[in-house]
Structure 1
Amino acid sequence: MKIAFLLTIHFCLLVFAHCYGGNGYDPLENVLSIQRSKRSAQDHIELTAENSYSPVYVGPQDGLKDVDKISSLPGQPNGTDFDQYSGYVTVDPHHGRALFYYLAESPINSSTNPLVLWLNGGPGCSSFGNGAMMELGPFRVNADNVTLSRNKYAWNNVANVLFLESPAGVGFSYSNTSSDYKTGDIQTAKDSYTFLINWLERFPEYKSRDFYITGESYAGHYIPQLAQLIVQNNKITNQTVINLKGIALGNAYVDDETENTGLFDYFWTHAIISDEIHEGIISNCNFTEAGTITDACNDYKIQAFAAKSNIYFYDIYAPLCSPSSNSTPSISAFDPCTENYISSYLNIASVQQSLHAKPVKWESCNEYINKHWTDLPFTVLPVIQDLMATGISVWIYSGDTDARVPVTTSRYSIDKLQTSVKTPWYPWMYEEKVGGYVVGYQNLTFVTIRGAGHFVPSYQPARALAFFSSFLEGKLP
């Protein structure tokens, strides 16, 4: 009876809290709960060259770049000084599966700046709506839902940034075959790779450009798996070789054991849960891959989420969006109602037309995809280790006010990588203030962004751009 009561409290809190996607649920916890309940040895899957490679579909791309160019977005401010493109790239013509992208080129040095792919997680959440419009893109949607303002800390200041809505069914991406909406890690990596090969045919000027991948949350799975596929296929393909230089994983879900231990340790050290609940979790929960989650463990986990109450645990010190009052800026001047503005804006017919998108009801996250995720390995740390050994730049960064995938989780995950320290932990500075902390490991860099939640560029845009610039330069901030 007690568990049922607490479950009800937890559900109500999730419904009424200010949530990722604005639709009352936590997509990462949702998919993890489902996967944990059915996990078996078969779920420990790694992409390998032997079982993953075959020549990918390449469709005709002539003339499509010109078609995809955006003349202007409704409500965009005057003086916009960069080119932007959006449209679809078909990745499976037989299923009618096509992925939507948005490219924001740099206002300066676009012909020489690197190409960066941004991926949001979920799984099932939009890289365009959440990533471009809420975080690091060139525009933010104003409170009137119809006009845009310039984000002066947009990442396209230093790179050409490509936002990909993946897998099919996320955001504006789609498939004509409904079974495609039951997908998982492996197919998402393959489709993203096929997208890149075709997109580079459409934009051949980027074929030799330095290429980076970054993103956050469940993209902690997407990015290493896609990067591994690129590295493997670069060695054996007679198609386009992608000039991958580095990856950066933000507040990233990479390992299920450290996600759990880091989450509840963060709750305790930030005065969200009591000593008794924390001790109950430590004493009753075995979060290892072979561990069994007992009823006692579940009881304490439910108590922990109930104790959290209705704080927005993607940024634990931020105010909530209140529909009954004027929006209150958070400690970092980020409007907590931004997700609502984005949803309204992206569902305007003229906006979808200007983006060359199919008319749809745009949603921040696709709950069906999330609930029907088919494969999710317990850990991708072995994949990250393989990438570290290739010599590409591997960075992990963490906003330190995020409780969803907290800084403790990232540090525990790095401990599992068993890499040695080259540059000891130190504070990095931005405008004569501590921007965060950094430690340089052998073949790995870890950076925190002070005062940032899960969506780092939303809460600390200036510090996020400073960190990102350092990542591209290959220098510790």
Structure 2
Amino acid sequence: MDNALDVLSSTAEDGEIEILISVYHIKMWYSLLIVLVVVLGATSQLLVLDSKKLALLKSKSAIGSKSDSERLLLTPLLEEGKVATSRKLARVRGGPFPADILSYSGYFTVDKQYNSNMFFWFFPAENVTYPNAPVVVWLQGGPGGSSMYGLFTELGPFRISPVNETLEIIPYAWTKNYSVLFIDNPVGTGFSFTDHEEGFARNETQVGDNLYSLLVQFYTMFPELQDRDLYINGESYAGKYIPAIGYTIHKRNPTADIKINLKGSVEQHVGGDYVTFLRRPDVRKALHVGKAYFQEINGHVYEKLLEDMMQSVKPWVEELLDSDYRIVYYSGQMDIIVGYPMSTLYYESLEFKDAQEYRNAPRKPWYVGDELAGYSRTGGNFTEIMVRNAGHMVPSDQPEWALNLINKITNGEEF
């Protein structure tokens, strides 16, 4: 055994389940009786994909190859009860990756009929005794954007040097105090793949089903994490993915053998060409992805979800609120993609049992030390926050304040 991470424990207790979801400037936190949703970001990527770029993105297919034996498919091992073997094989070793940063990567099969497989990269917390740290899930937007963007440019442990393609350690990485799971979602995004056209998601119900399947397998592989707080985070179009998986968990958790615990979201900004880096042979070998072609944004995934783009997830948010889940939204004051005034119109349109209390509530100042970080407004289980001097990417513009915000949420503190 390399460390405490390799010690398997019993399954989780039927305790409190908390979930936090973020994007569209919406983040969602969820517990068996209390869910918190925070929405963080908007669909900016939707606006820039013109027909020429879409055609270019479609030139690289996400259809897989059954003959690629170098891809690490973990589902068969888990079905045979070989949990220790799956963890051993999934360890990321060699290549350019630091030996002192532990991580695991590979594929979970989420649809056997079409051989649809989703890529993940998991980093156990560095500074918190394992497995005590909360778990954070990161989902990128697009649709079709790889979560490797978030890993290398927002909240992962390292970034690509713009000078020589070496890795630089990020001092404020969320992987220091949280165990972070990056997922290439939906199927076909990034390193994820399928063997059939029907394997691509066409709506948020399918997105939620696939993510739920992945999370169940993740907790089968790491059962000692089942009672940890789990935060589902993301940005841009992930503002639909997150309510989708939150709603799926809400419906399935009561009768599920594996209970899911969510709760958090964070971003940071860095530079360097991570796409070229991820296509290097030594990197691909270390990540167990075989011949899979990495795509920063997959236009085919985008195209398959075109009809889904105008379908609202608002009813799911309202049902979670009426089911006594706590929901928190935050927005950047200077976000010109999803402006705060526009966001408040959405907040005030929500119909739930404490809606009028929220609409009548005064704004409260939120301080980080001596600095005024923003304002909050609460009604019942619903809270919305405006972060001062921040744009579309709040944690990138105000990393200290964003960290304080997330810490308050995870610690159950009021703003």
- TM range, smaller chain: 0.7 to 0.9
Q: Distance in 2 between matches of 1:455 and 1:145?
A: 27
Which residue of structure 1 aligns with residue 9 of structure 2?
Answer: none
- Write the distance in 2 (CA, Å) between the matches of 1:390 and 1:247: 20
The two structures have a TM-score, normalised by structure 1, of 0.65
- Distance in 2 (alpha carbons) for counterparts of 1:91 and 1:431: 45
SS in 2 for 1:66: helix
Unaligned runs of 5+ in 2: 1-42, 52-74
Q: 1:345 to 1:451 in 2, by over 3 A?
A: farther
In the other structure, the counterpart of 2:131 is 111
Aligned mate of 1:365, from 280, 297, 308 = 297
Of 451-460 and 194-203, more deviation after overlay is shown by 451-460
Q: Deviations over 1:198-242 (max 9, x none)?
A: 1111111112222222222212111112111111111233x3222
**Distance change (3 Å), C-alpha of 1:457 and 1:433:** same
Give the deviation of 1:389 after TM superposition: 2.7
The TM-score with structure 2 as length reference comes to 0.74
Name the structure 2 match of 1:399: 332
- Decide whether aligned partners of structure 1 residues 408 and 360 sit closer, same or farther in structure 2, where only a CA change above 3 A counts: farther
Identify if the C-alpha distance between structure 1 residues 403 and 149 changes in structure 2 by more than 3 Å, giving closer, same or farther.
same
Change (3 A) 1:106 1:383: same
Aligned pair 1:122/2:142, yes or no? yes
Aligned to 1:300: none
Aligned pair in 2 of structure 1 residues 356, 460: CA closer, same or farther (>3 Å)?
farther
Q: CA shift at 1:172, angstroms?
A: 0.8
The equivalent of 1:3 in structure 2 is none
Contact 1:449 1:456 in 2 (8 A): yes
Match status 1:409 vs 2:347: no
* d(CA) in 2 for partners of 1:98, 1:428: 43
Helix, strand or coil: the match of 2:108? strand
The match for 1:265 is none
Q: Where does structure 1 lack aligned partners over 5 or more consecutive residues?
A: 1-24, 34-55, 251-331
Identity across aligned pairs (percent)? 30
Indicate conservation of the 8 Å contact 1:217/1:405, yes or no: no
Change (3 A) 1:109 1:132: same
Q: Which amino acid in 2 is paired with 1:165?
A: D
Within 5 A, what are the aligned runs for 1:341-352?
A: 341-352=273-284
2:411, 2:50 → 1: CA distance?
Answer: 35
Aligned residues: 340
Partners of 1:461 and 1:162 lie apart in 2 by 20
Residue type of the alignment partner of 1:402 = D
Residue 184 of structure 1 and its aligned partner are, at CA, apart by 2.5
How far 1:460 sits from its partner (Å)?
2.8
Separation in structure 1 between the aligned mates of residue 410 and residue 247 of structure 2, nearest angstrom: 19
Contact 2:138/2:265 (8 A) holds in 1:
no
Partner of 1:135: 154
More helix by share: 1
The residue type paired with residue 395 of structure 2 is P
Q: Cα distance, 1:188 vs. partner?
A: 0.8
Q: Distance in 1 between matches of 2:97 and 2:275?
A: 15
- 1:232/1:182 CA distance change after superposition, 3 Å: closer
User: Which of 245, 259, 276 matches 1:241?
Assistant: 259
For residues 241 and 394 of structure 1, the distance between their equivalents in structure 2, rounded to whole angstroms, comes to: 20
Amino acid at match of 1:167: P
1:245-324 alignment, distance < 5 Å: 246=263
2-side partners of 1:393 and 1:387: how far apart?
8
What is the rounded CA distance, in whole Å, between the counterparts of 1:61 and 1:29 in structure 2? Answer: 45
1:64 is displaced (CA, Å) by 0.9
Asked whether the 8 Å contact 1:136–1:457 carries over to 2, the reply is no
Aligned equivalent of 2:314: 381
Q: How much has 1:431 moved relative to structure 2?
A: 4.5
Structure 2 counterpart of 1:144, which letter? V
Partners of 2:389 and 2:169 lie apart in 1 by: 22
Alignment CA distance shift 1:121-1:138 (3 Å): same
Residues 435 and 104 (structure 1 numbering): CA distance in 2 closer, same or farther, change over 3 Å?
farther
Bigger relative CO (Cα 8 Å, ≥ 6 apart): 2
1:30–1:371 Cα contact (<8 Å) kept: no
For the 8 Å contact 2:190–2:294, the answer to whether it is kept is: yes
Alpha carbons 2:114, 2:198 under 8 Å: kept: no
RMSD after superposition = 3.0
Tell me the SS of whatever aligns to 1:74: coil
2:289 paired with 1:353: no
Instruction: State the match for 2:96 in structure 1.
Output: 74
Going from structure 1 to structure 2, the CA distance change for 1:149 and 1:248 (only over 3 Å counts) comes to: closer
Q: 1:181 to 1:247 in 2, by over 3 A?
A: same
Other structure's SS at 2:136 match:
strand
On the 8 A contact 1:68/1:86 being kept in 2, the answer is yes
1:51-109: CA deviations, max 9, x gaps? Answer: xxxxx998446221221122356154x8x4x5221111111223111111111221123
Greater shift after overlay, 98-107 or 365-374?
Answer: 365-374
The answer for the alignment partner of 1:200 in structure 2 is: 219
Larger radius of gyration: 1
